[in-house]
Amino acid sequence: METLLPLMVGTLFAVGLYFILHRHLFKVILGLILFSLATNLFLFVVGGITRGSSAIISEEKSTATEPYADPVPQALLLTAVVIGFGIQSFAIVLIRRVYQTFKSNNLDELRKENEAQ
């Protein structure tokens, strides 16, 4: 399991980069979504997968007992998921509006349209 997750992170980064280099806006946004998913999974892997107790310190002890799950990567991931969802929804609405206006989602055609004006 510990070797599978880094391979999955690398695969998601590679596929996301492949989609980002395409000319269609939808594929670019899909690549950004995969890139953010790979980043979240990377933070999860770096934070470590610990099947332990919560990081709550009891009254009679001064430190948490090992093993405990680190809450900081979990909080970072939750924040990243919420921000990523907001950015993705904005990008999808933006693509829809561009397609309604120019009747195309190809970046080359949009660039030609912009140069013609």
Three-class secondary structure of residue 22 per DSSP: coil
Number of domains in the chain: 1
Per-residue pLDDT at 106 exceeds 90: no
Question: Tell me: the pLDDT tens digits for 7-42?
Answer: 999 999 999 999 999 888 888 889 989 999 999 888
| Domain that residue 65 falls in | 4-116
CATH code (residue 40)? 1.10.287.3510
Angle at 68 between CA 66 and CA 71, to 5 degrees: 145
Question: Tell me: the pLDDT tens digits for 38-60?
Answer: 998 888 888 776 666 666 677 77
Percentage with pLDDT > 90 across the chain: 25
At residue 53, the pLDDT reads: 65
